[in-house]
């Protein structure tokens, strides 16, 4: 069965369409700029995902060569010492075994460090990208914080119509959903615990923020004349 993946370019097209809708209705609001930032991030995610999934052969070859050179140098150094067991007592034998074991551990640790360098490099880029998405999520939340239903807002606070507010909150919810999906693109083919945890944390964040938005939407739709709360704008 063929693996089903979330395609970055499809997300970009969706973010572009969402940005056009937001700009058309709320061109003078900061939400339009935030949707443009989300669209640009979705566009960049395609190149980032390709970079993450593509093996870096330069790093891998360099790591293997470094390990081989390290092993050869250790073996060469031991052979030059011309170590002999003649006249060595039990204590000295154990000391030699301990030194050899430490040498093996050192080589193994160096090998693991070099082999894991590529994964650490990719992890850093994923975490940086997800942190940018987290900033966008908080920006979206900041936009909707003061957007309460007119009958709940402060009298001194300028309000928009209930219809416009419905669209505004719905767009915020859509943007949060797209933010979470872009983060998933980075980790769907990258098996790294730290990266997956960061993407999962972002998903929980966007879900929680979206729930707050939908509480406002439900209150708006329950007003007389607003129709069925289950239907969107």
In tens, the pLDDT along 62-104 reads 767 766 766 676 666 556 555 555 555 556 555 656 665 666 6
What number of helices (H) and strands (E) belong to the chain? 7, 0
Model pLDDT, residue 97: 60
Quote the tokens at residue 131. Answer: 């942190």
**Residue 136 contacts by C-beta under 8 Å, 6 or more apart in sequence?**
34, 37, 38, 41, 175, 179
Please give the torsion angle defined by the CA atoms of residues 169, 173, 174 and 180, in that order, rounded to the nearest 10 degrees.
Answer: 160
Say whether pLDDT at 194 is over 70.
Answer: yes
Q: Return the exposure string of 166-177: e unless at least 16 CB atoms fall within 10 Å of the residue's CB, then b.
A: bbbbbbbbbbbb
Using alpha carbons, select from 172, 175, 157 the residue that is nearest to residue 213: 172
| Model confidence pLDDT, tens digit, residues 204-222 | 999 999 999 988 888 877 7
Q: Give the Cβ contact number of residue 84 at 10 Å.
A: 7
């Amino acid at each position: 069965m063929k693996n089903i993946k979330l395609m970055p370019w499809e997300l970009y097209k969706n973010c572009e369409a969402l940005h056009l809708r937001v700009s058309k209705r709320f061109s003078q609001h900061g939400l339009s700029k935030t949707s443009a930032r989300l669209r640009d991030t979705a566009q960049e995610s395609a190149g980032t995902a390709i970079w993450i999934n593509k093996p870096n052969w330069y790093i891998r070859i360099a790591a293997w060569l470094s390990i081989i050179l390290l092993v050869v140098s250790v073996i060469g150094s031991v052979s030059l010492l011309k170590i002999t067991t003649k006249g060595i007592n039990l204590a000295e034998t154990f000391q030699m075994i301990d030194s050899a074991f430490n040498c093996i551990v050192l080589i193994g640790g160096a090998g693991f460090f070099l082999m894991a360098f590529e994964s650490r490099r990719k992890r850093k880029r994923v975490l940086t990208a997800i942190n940018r998405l987290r900033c966008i999520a908080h920006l979206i939340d900041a936009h909707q914080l003061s957007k309460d239903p007119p009958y709940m807002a402060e009298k001194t606070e300028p309000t928009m119509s209930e219809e416009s507010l419905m669209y505004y909150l719905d767009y915020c919810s859509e943007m949060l959903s797209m933010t979470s999906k872009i983060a998933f693109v980075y980790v769907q083919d990258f098996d790294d615990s730290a990266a997956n945890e960061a993407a999962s944390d972002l998903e929980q964040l966007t879900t929680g923020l979206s729930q707050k938005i939908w509480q406002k939407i439900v209150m708006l739709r329950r007003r007389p004349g607003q129709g069925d709360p289950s239907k969107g704008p």
